[in-house]
């Protein structure tokens, strides 16, 4: 009787249905596919899939209403991270779950201290027409951005200050790179990103009646002093070269970021953070 009662309780456990199909092999096709999606931008484009790792990032994907195809998990790591209840919440979504052994999970993982969740989600088109709404007052233009970690950090900072529109002109980056997802803490799924050429983005913003403001160390006015009253697009140059001739010729004005030290410039993420912090302060006042 005790055995039957114990078996009944075991079968009622929400993890029972997946426990018999644990993937142990490092050469399993699903493990290999996770690695391909992690490492290859071409594979991500071909499959229209990308990889998210970690509970906080995956939670953001769900909250943004994005489509998750499959969740891979390692029960040992989930238990270590004390995320058993979170597992049950994800299970209610009806997404396919696949359990990996610790060795197989480690093979597929790109984080040193994973919490036991890796998922595959559907990518979505990054269209200009979907990037700006009727009520959007502030947006960011990033020209020729190259570094995934930088883009992810900027997305996270923009979202924190309530800016949900980011336009990438002539970008040489894959927005679904795992480093973008990780650095943004999954928040890129809730931000409206549009991609296009310099000319396309310029014309798009003109049609939307946006004022174009660029940052330059040589600008006469600081952002603290510049009056901005209309819809505004803050345009930032590349990490290597700053703003190029095209955007400098199109800007309504340029502003500098006041600094006291010997540094002659800030990195891209720091510049964006300074501008958005001041914009946020003005809006609050």
pLDDT in tens, 10-52: 444 444 444 448 999 999 999 999 999 999 999 999 999 999 9
Residue 8 scores a pLDDT above 80: no
- CATH number at 88 reads 3.30.1330.30
Q: How many CB atoms lie within 10 A of CB 136?
A: 16
Answer whether 192's CB lies under 8 Å from 130's CB: yes
Domain boundary among 122, 154, 171: 122
Structural domain that includes position 171: 128-284
Q: Are 140 and 56 within one domain?
A: no
Q: Are 98 and 160 within one domain?
A: no
pTM above 0.85, yes or no: yes
Q: Are 171 and 185 within one domain?
A: yes
The neighbouring-strand residues paired with 99 are 73
CA atoms within 13 A on the CB side of 119: 30
Q: What is the structure's pLDDT at 18? A: 45
Pairing of strands 49-53, 117-122: antiparallel
Determine the Cα–Cα distance for residues 189 and 182; give it in Å rounded to an integer: 11
Determine the Cα–Cα distance for residues 265 and 240; give it in Å rounded to an integer: 12
Residue 102 scores a pLDDT above 70: yes
Least confident of 30-34, 49-53, 165-169, 242-246: 242-246
Domain boundary among 122, 146, 170: 122
Determine the Cα–Cα distance for residues 266 and 239; give it in Å rounded to an integer: 10
Q: What angle do CA 80, 27, 105 make, to 5 degrees?
A: 10
Assign 12 to helix, strand or coil: helix
Name the nearest CA neighbour of 125 among 43, 205, 179, 48.
Answer: 48
Q: Are 173 and 113 within one domain?
A: no
Give how many domains the chain has, as a whole number: 2
Answer whether 132's CB lies under 8 Å from 192's CB: yes
């Amino acid at each position: 009787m005790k055995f039957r009662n114990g078996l009944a309780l075991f079968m009622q456990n929400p993890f029972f249905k997946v426990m018999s199909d644990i993937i142990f092999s490092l050469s399993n096709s699903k493990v290999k596919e996770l690695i391909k999606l992690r490492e290859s931008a071409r594979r991500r484009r071909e499959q229209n899939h990308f990889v998210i790792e970690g509970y906080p990032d995956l939670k953001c994907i769900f909250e943004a209403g994005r489509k998750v195809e499959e969740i891979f998990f390692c029960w040992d790591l989930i238990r270590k991270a004390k995320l058993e209840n979170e597992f049950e919440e994800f299970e209610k979504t009806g997404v396919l779950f696949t359990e990996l052994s610790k060795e197989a999970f480690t093979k597929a993982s790109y984080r040193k201290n994973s919490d036991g969740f890796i998922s595959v989600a559907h990518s979505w088109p990054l269209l200009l027409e979907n990037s700006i709404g009727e009520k959007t007052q502030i947006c960011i233009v990033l020209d020729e951005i190259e570094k995934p970690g930088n883009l992810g950090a900027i997305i996270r900072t923009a979202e924190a200050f309530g800016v949900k529109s980011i336009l990438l002109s002539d970008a040489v980056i894959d927005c679904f790179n795992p480093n973008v997802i990780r650095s943004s803490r999954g928040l890129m799924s809730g931000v409206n990103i549009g991609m296009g050429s310099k000319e396309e983005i310029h014309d798009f913003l003109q049609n939307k009646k946006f004022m174009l403001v660029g940052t330059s160390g040589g600008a006469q006015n600081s952002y603290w002093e510049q009056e901005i009253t209309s819809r505004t697009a803050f345009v930032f140059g590349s990490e290597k070269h700053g703003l190029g001739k095209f955007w400098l010729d199109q800007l309504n004005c340029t502003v500098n970021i006041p600094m006291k030290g010997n540094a002659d410039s800030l990195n891209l993420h720091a510049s964006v953070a300074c501008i958005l912090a001041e914009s946020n302060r003005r809006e609050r006042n």
